Structure 1
């Protein structure tokens, strides 16, 4: 019995080691697969409506890669890339991007007040929850809960994401349903205002 328990401890210990993320291995994948769209270190994407990946949160990034690979989240441009990644590759990639530093963005001064109001207070009259509840006062997200960092994210990408949530294109699980419900109540102008605010939020 003692030998059996020792064997189980060793087995589960080795399994745990196998799951540990390796950012350096993730960097190699990023340089070969991701840089052409998301830019060096995931900081400055080729197109402004592509995500800045730097510092978004390791668990969040891993979940997005996994969901895209499974087809739960539909991102056609990513399907060919994630198809060749196994779970360990995705963990490594998420760990690498999470270690990178998100650049400082700038908010549109004409829209920042409206964006701040929605971000920090929501709109109780329409049952619109405040962004701060999940993404934090500085937009740094909530890693244990899997909510991503928003601070510094490009406004164009945030607008695209909110529109995808509103249309239902990005609603497929409990967390995305929360965003779908919020986005369904926002106008295009409100989306733009919130997006501008979070790009410059620090």
Structure 2
């Protein structure tokens, strides 16, 4: 736990460095190819693919650059982002950040367990509350590039948690998500992902 908290402190400090701004208007044109999977306004119709609408530009830029530069493996993105410049990526990220986030609905059968994990974690297992990085309303932390999780597809969120747990995804600063996900069961991941889907950017 001490290692995780130290990692959080370091990431917040390092990630706070200002980045060049993107142009949302230019990004709308550049994002045309993205619409097939992520929707015209960044809300995907397929739960395996992430909603991008309302996501922090800082987080999106990091993820797209990581995919382009081989630090994060996403086979579906091969060839799509290879030739994007840093400015292209910032513009696309700015466009999606300017869109309204998705409004999802949590599974009532999972909501209570998911809420407890999200808001309080599990001290006995060493799982911190998700609110520490993603805030009570699921809006994340833009300067630290911690993503918005409110309204994210539960299927996508579970897939990413499993990828962190299994080591298939390793672009999390200081292994923060890997250290958390390795302590979670599939059922816990499904519950917290369902709760995040229904957060709607509120503090419920």
Task: Give the shorter-chain TM-score range.
Answer: 0.7 to 0.9
Name the counterpart of 2:197: 199
CA distance in 2, matches of 1:173, 1:198: 19
**Map 1:108-187 → 2, pairs under 5 A:** 108-175=107-174, 177-187=175-185
- Cα deviation code 1:3-52 (max 9, x no counterpart): xxxxxxxxxxxxxxxx4411111100112x10001111111x24211000
* CA shift for structure 1 position 173: 4.5
**How many aligned positions are there?**
181
- TM-score, normalising length from structure 1? 0.87
SS in 2 for 1:81: coil
Name the counterpart of 2:29: 28
Structure 1 pair 128–174 and aligned structure 2 pair: CA distance change class (3 A): same
CA distance in 1, matches of 2:160, 2:69: 19
Contact 2:172 2:178 in 1 (8 A): no
Aligned alpha-carbon RMSD (Å): 1.1
Name the counterpart of 1:92: 91
Runs of 4+ in 1 over 3 A off after TM superposition: none
Contact 2:38 2:51 in 1 (8 A): yes
Q: Does 1:71 align with 2:70?
A: yes
Name the counterpart of 1:6: none
The structure with more helix, counted as a fraction of residues:
1
Relative contact order, CA 8 A, sep 6+: which one is greater?
2
CA distance in 2, matches of 1:36, 1:82: 14
- TM-score, normalising length from structure 2? 0.86
